[in-house]
Amino acid sequence: MRPNAFAPVLALILVVSLLAPLPASADDDLDIMVGQMLMAGFRGFAVTPDSPIVRDIRERHLGGVILFDYDVAMNSPDRNIDSPAQVARLTADLAGYAAIPLLVAVDQEGGRVQRLKPGRGFAGSPSARELGTLDDAAIEAAGAEVGRTLRRAGFNLDFAPVADVDVDPDSPAIGRLGRSFSANPARVGQCAGLFLAGLASQGVTGCLKHFPGHGSAGTDSHLGVTDVTATWSRDELIPYRILINRGAARMIMTAHIFNARLDQDHPATLSRPVITGLLRQELGFDGVVVTDDLDMKAITDRYGRDAAIRLAIEAGADILLIGNNLTYDPDAVRLAHGRITAMVRDGIIAEARIRESFERILRLKQNLPE
């Protein structure tokens, strides 16, 4: 290993008791950092040492996993979630294979978007739209109840709350599903902050989404390019500005929306003007930026996986989310990891850029519950 190659992060690793021996070569140094920048979905209610996702955790240092209750590619309800006891075993097994603490994530917003459903034995929760009509104590209590459900099941990361403003109540991905707290941006920021606090009270990190605002979109980015150039306004940044200024936002997910007023070439997930310029420099966010699922058609219809990976990293994203659900490939992590390391070795992406994201990810993981 190069002298002091881990100097910027070694103290953090020690603080969180990451005492497993680290590989002793520059290549392995890079392998670890790249692996931590990836989060992936997988198939199965249980894992073994030979499972592809376990190999990714052990051999490629995969930084996070995401669980789903439905396998979209197979059109099947058999994916990762069957019962509370089964999920708790699965998440514990996955975490046990990781040398660096594993992010174990799920989309548990409430209402129409909750992977842990009452029909499978989990506690249900109201939609954001319903919560937005309640008092502050009730909203924070709802976040805490979601947090308790997640912690019991072994999750430490919730891709919630939605910080999108309910600009268009008929927006297919947000308004129509009741996923926004309010049409008032300040109220969205207030409610999202209360929900985050509730999650945090149970040891669960929340993730605001979908930056820089999906509430005015007339189409669904799961299905193709979503253009909000004519409908988006800077008022949709208000919830993020509020929570970043309070220090409440630790992770933010990008949207696959296109806005020519922000970037004439790329959607937000792949846009340096949006992630580095708007989110980091203008709003002052230095937490972890995670992409929305790179398998969504807004990305796959226009960009190949190589281009999407390169552009997302160049834009400033720290974690690349590969849901591996809309389409499925057991080698998805291996291929993505190989592409990123090759780009670094070929000089396409600077190693310093990879280390920057690695340090942010470890800062986040430093505060994960044991």
Q: What percent of the chain has pLDDT over 70?
A: 91
Q: What pLDDT score was predicted for residue 252?
A: 98
Per mean pLDDT, which range of 26-30, 76-80, 127-131 is the poorest? 26-30
Write out the H or E segment, with its range, that includes residue 220.
none
- Mean pLDDT on 74-96: 98
- pLDDT given for residue 51 in this prediction: 98
Annotated active-site residue in 56, 107, 263, 292: 292
Beta strand segments in the chain, E: 38-40, 64-66, 103-106, 108-110, 113-114, 157-158, 205-206, 208-211, 226-227, 251-254, 257-258, 288-290, 320-322
Q: Looking at 222, 227, 235, 306, which residue is catalytic? A: 222
The model's pTM is: 0.92
Which segment of 10-24, 101-115, 179-193, 241-255 scores lowest on mean pLDDT?
10-24
Please report which confidence band the pLDDT of residue 106 belongs to, taking 50, 70 and 90 as the band edges. very high
Mean pLDDT over residues 328-354, rounded?
97
Q: Which is more confident, 298 or 143?
A: 143
Share of residues in the chain with pLDDT > 90 (%): 85
Torsion angle (degrees, nearest 10) of CA 189, 191, 196, 198: 160
Mean pLDDT over each residue of the chain, to the nearest integer: 91
pLDDT of residue 122: 98
Mean pLDDT of 125-146: 98
The pLDDT of residue 1 = 29
Q: With left for phi above 0 and alpha for psi between -120 and 50, is residue 324 left, alpha or beta?
A: left
pLDDT level of residue 7 (50, 70, 90 thresholds): very low
Residue 222, pLDDT > 80, answer no
Given this model, what pLDDT does residue 226 score?
A: 85
At residue 162, the pLDDT reads 98
**Catalytic status, residue 158:** no
Mean pLDDT check: name the lowest of 6-10, 49-53, 228-232, 294-298. 6-10
What's the rounded mean pLDDT across residues 129-133? 98
* pLDDT at residue 193 in the model: 98
CA 367, CA 177: separation in Å to the nearest integer?
32
50 a catalytic residue: no
pLDDT higher than 80, residue 202 = yes
Residues 73, 64: contact at Cβ < 8 Å? no
Q: Is the pLDDT of residue 231 over 80?
A: yes
- Give the confidence band of 302 by pLDDT, cuts at 50, 70, 90: confident
**Helix, strand, or coil (residue 350):** coil
Whether pLDDT at 20 is above 90: no
* Residue whose C-alpha is closest to residue 139's, from 107, 110, 175: 110
Closest among 160, 347, 153, 143 to 253, alpha carbons compared: 160
Residue 25, pLDDT score: 56
